[in-house]
Amino acid sequence: MAENYLVTGGAGFIGSHVVDELIAAGKIPIVVDNLSSGKIENLDPRALFYEQDITDQEMMEKVFMLHRPVALFHLAAQISVSRSVREPEEDAMINIIGTLRLLKIAAKYGVKKVVFSSTGGAIYGDEVKKIPTDEEELPKPLSPYGIAKFSTENYLRFFSNELGMKYVVLRYANVYGPRQDPYGEAGVVAIFSERMLQNQEVVIFGDGQCVRDYVFVSDVAKANLLALEKSEDCIMNIGTGKGTSVNELFTQMKRITGYAREAIHKEPRPGDLKKSILDANKAKYLLGWEPEVKLEKGLESTIEYFRNELVSS
Ligand code: NAD
């Protein structure tokens, strides 16, 4: 019998690319997503789809009972850092309690491995000892979102020790690429693409010197599949080790889109980190993973995607 793979959040930005990789590898993805930020159009129709909330224990149990997945890629989450600050209980309901229920059911139905989407940016905090930051850095998350991700990492260790359900935690840098939501608060590449292509005003919060590590979504999806095959019970960063300021990003995207206007600068947003760059040598060593898509190429294909979306809308 063919093996099933459950992807929560599989209609979302990163999750839908994980689904694509699974299908390309000849595997069968079962997707659970409540479509709160994901879209059905993101999803390859060959995936089996349940429009369902991960916090709904009864329904989740049915999915596991029916499909008996061997592995779980857990990407469904409340992803807004600022919402987590405004509504920490709501964030914890989805990102901690929802995840915990899911992990309990997964263990009950014999899932062998969980690949969890965590965060590098929000987990290490602003006062890191080393940049690029490696996994030796002790997490000091500042937001409820980061706290919830760190809690889940710890619960995964508990489930592995107690019940033998193995895991790999992937702490992503700033992921960008096709299908990212251009209307959210994060996802600067998607927001700039959409606005530049429509010749609308582009806002930069603060002086634009904030530095981020931009990693392309297909590289992140590949890391998920390698994590499934190659390693267990460990935590690793997924980033490029290279930093790009918002101003540099703006200039590069201006050239690719032909946008002729200057950016509007507004007050910096509270809580925005000044500099976040991840050292992903552990993932290289353990998974043989390295980012393949250079920023320039990734920006070109993201902008191309948004151009096509605008034409077809
Ligand atoms: P996304 O919003 O596109 O994906 C999240 C998906 O989860 C959406 O499809 C949404 O509809 C679904 N979802 C949310 N709550 C749900 C619930 N209660 N039940 C079922 N489905 C639910 O965001 P993304 O950027 O693709 O993020 C995917 C994962 O990667 C998240 O766990 C996020 O925290 C993590 N992550 C993303 C980044 C990034 O740069 N995008 C960086 C670090 C970590």
At 106 the pLDDT is 98
At 110 the pLDDT is 96
- Tell the residue nearest (CA) to atom 32 of ligand 1: 75
Tell me, in angstroms, the distance from the centre of ligand 1 to residue 117's CA: 9
Q: Is the CB of 172 under 6 A from ligand 1?
A: yes
Q: Is the CB of 13 under 6 A from ligand 1?
A: yes
Report the predicted TM-score, pTM, of the whole model to 2 decimal places. Answer: 0.97
Query: Structural domain boundaries of the chain?
Result: 4-175+215-238, 188-211+243-279+294-312
CATH number belonging to the domain at 188-211+243-279+294-312, selected among 3.60.130.10, 3.40.50.150, 3.90.25.10, 3.40.50.300: 3.90.25.10
Count of Cβ atoms closer than 10 Å to residue 285 Cβ: 11
Identify the CA nearest to 312 among candidates 207, 168, 186, 197.
197
Tell me, in angstroms, the distance from the centre of ligand 1 to residue 52's CA: 14
At 1 the pLDDT is 60
- For residue 132, is the peptide bond before it cis, meaning its omega torsion is within 30 degrees of 0? yes
At 313 the pLDDT is 78
Identify the CA nearest to 252 among candidates 202, 308, 310.
202
Please list the pLDDT of the chain residue by residue as tens digits (313 residues): 679 999 999 999 999 999 999 999 999 899 999 999 999 999 999 999 999 999 999 999 999 999 999 999 999 999 999 899 999 999 999 999 999 999 999 999 999 999 999 999 999 988 899 999 999 999 999 999 999 999 999 999 999 999 999 999 999 999 999 999 998 777 999 999 999 999 999 999 999 999 999 999 999 999 999 999 998 999 999 999 999 999 999 999 999 999 999 999 999 887 778 899 999 999 999 999 999 999 999 999 999 999 999 988 7
Of the candidates 5, 124, 145, 259, the residue annotated as catalytic is 145
Cα–Cα distance between 199 and 290 in angstroms, integer? 35
Whether 285 is catalytic is: no
Please tell me the number of Cα atoms within 13 Å of 74 on its side-chain side: 33
At 161 the pLDDT is 97
Q: Is the CB of 15 under 6 A from ligand 1?
A: yes
**AA identity, residue 35:** L
3 state SS for the chain: CCCEEEEECCCCHHHHHHHHHHHHCCCEEEEEECCCCCCHHHCCCCCEEEECCCCCHHHHHHHHHHHCCCEEEECCCCCCHHHHHHCHHHHHHHHHHHHHHHHHHHHHCCCCEEEEEEECHHHHCCCCCCCCECCCCCCCCCCHHHHHHHHHHHHHHHHHHHHCCEEEEEEECEEECCCCCCCCCCCHHHHHHHHHHCCCCCEEECCCCCEECEEEHHHHHHHHHHHHHHCCCEEEEECCCCCEEHHHHHHHHHHHHCCCCCCEEECCCCCCCCECCECCHHHHHHHCCCCCCCHHHHHHHHHHHHHHHHHHC
Domain 4-175+215-238 has CATH 3.80.30.20: no
Cα–Cα distance between 119 and 180 in angstroms, integer? 16
- Tell the residue nearest (CA) to atom 4 of ligand 1: 12
Q: Is the CB of 241 under 6 A from ligand 1?
A: no
Q: 4-175+215-238 with 188-211+243-279+294-312: one CATH topology? A: no
At 238 the pLDDT is 98
- Tell the residue nearest (CA) to atom 29 of ligand 1: 75
